């Protein structure tokens, strides 16, 4: 796996300083490079993902050269799933992350030679896939059936808003969100909800397209993002505008250090992030203590 990994831990003194002096929430009313009213953004983002749902997996493979699969593998390995866990995957409608979590749990089960205790725990495992877009959830349900998971009681599909989750306080062992948080209207509300539903000791993990800092690489990445991705979207999916929004939304998302400070402001401890491919994507994590 040709990935350059860089991990940074952010001290408790450093994070509050950033959060008190940086305009972290200026993106809340942006739709790509456009400024829109808050009440309009959810509908506009919904329209984008309704449009791209049927080609979502294909376009992810084309845009990332298949690397998005490795990035999600890394996310799940950091989660360290276990039989019997209660997990919430937000903005995960197509099921990519949920399927990988279940695969990880099945591997643990096989290594334990189908111990009766693990069989019981497997029955209690609950992976909730929450997405605000019903079209994305429909793609995920279809994929689950294709994988033979259509009747798996561990997999629970939920249409819901990341900013106002329907789950009770302190109920989840883990929370993941992959390539979804930059599309919400209020990132701070999503983080607060993640903190609320997690149990003490629960892990928050966010995989998101991020900011490249190496100058030459950044220039190449910007060219690829704004010239190639929308053109591929138009050619393959017949939808240039949606993919133009997607690349613009990456540039509007807070840089790694600022986003880490937002996670700390939500109450999480041991906040850190890991850059992949020079910062094209980053995995942020935090612990509810």
Alpha helices in 155-280 (DSSP H): 187-197, 215-223, 229-232, 240-252, 256-265
Residue 119 is labelled as binding a ligand:
no
Residue 266 is labelled as binding a ligand:
no
Which residues lie below 8 Å from residue 76, measured CB to CB, with a gap of 6+? 97, 100, 101, 104, 176
Which residues lie below 8 Å from residue 253, measured CB to CB, with a gap of 6+? 27, 182, 208, 209, 210, 211, 259
Which among 266, 284, 277, 254 has a CA at the least distance from the CA of 25?
254
Residue 264 is labelled as binding a ligand:
no
Q: Are strands 30-31 and 34-35 parallel, antiparallel or unpaired?
A: antiparallel
| CB 133 within 8 Å of CB 50 | yes
Tokens coding 148: 């033979």
Which among 276, 230, 265 has a CA at the least distance from the CA of 249?
230
Which among 164, 168, 144 has a CA at the least distance from the CA of 92?
144
Residue 162 is labelled as binding a ligand:
yes
- Residue 53 carries which DSSP code? G
Q: Output the known binding site.
A: 94, 131, 161-162
Q: Output the known binding site for S-adenosyl-L-methionine.
A: 94, 131, 161-162
């Amino acid at each position: 796996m040709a990935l350059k990994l860089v991990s940074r831990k952010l001290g408790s003194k450093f994070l509050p300083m950033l959060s008190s002096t940086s305009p972290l929430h200026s993106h809340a009313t942006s739709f790509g490079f456009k400024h829109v009213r808050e009440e309009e953004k959810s509908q506009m983002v919904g329209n984008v993902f309704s449009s791209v749902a049927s080609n979502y997996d294909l376009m992810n493979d084309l845009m990332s050269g298949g690397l998005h699969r490795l990035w999600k593998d890394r996310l799940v390995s950091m989660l360290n799933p276990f039989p019997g866990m209660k997990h919430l995957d937000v903005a995960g409608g197509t099921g990519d992350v949920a399927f990988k979590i279940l695969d990880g749990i099945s591997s643990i089960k096989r290594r334990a030679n189908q111990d009766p205790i693990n069989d019981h725990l497997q029955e209690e495992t609950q992976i909730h896939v929450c997405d605000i877009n019903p079209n994305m959830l429909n793609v995920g349900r279809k994929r689950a059936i294709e994988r033979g998971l259509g009747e798996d009681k561990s997999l629970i599909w939920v249409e819901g808003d990341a900013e106002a989750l329907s789950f009770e306080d302190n109920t989840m062992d883990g929370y993941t969100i992959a390539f979804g948080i930059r599309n919400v209207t209020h990132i701070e509300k999503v983080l607060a909800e993640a903190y609320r539903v997690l149990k003490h000791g629960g892990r928050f993990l966010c995989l998101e397209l991020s900011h490249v800092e190496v100058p030459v690489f950044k220039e190449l990445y910007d060219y690829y993002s704004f010239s190639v991705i929308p053109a591929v979207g138009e050619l393959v999916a017949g939808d240039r505008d949606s993919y133009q929004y997607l690349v613009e939304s990456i540039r509007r998302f807070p840089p790694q250090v600022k986003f880490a400070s937002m996670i700390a402001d939500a109450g999480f401890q041991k906040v850190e992030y890991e850059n992949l491919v020079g910062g094209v994507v980053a995995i942020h994590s935090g612990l509810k203590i």
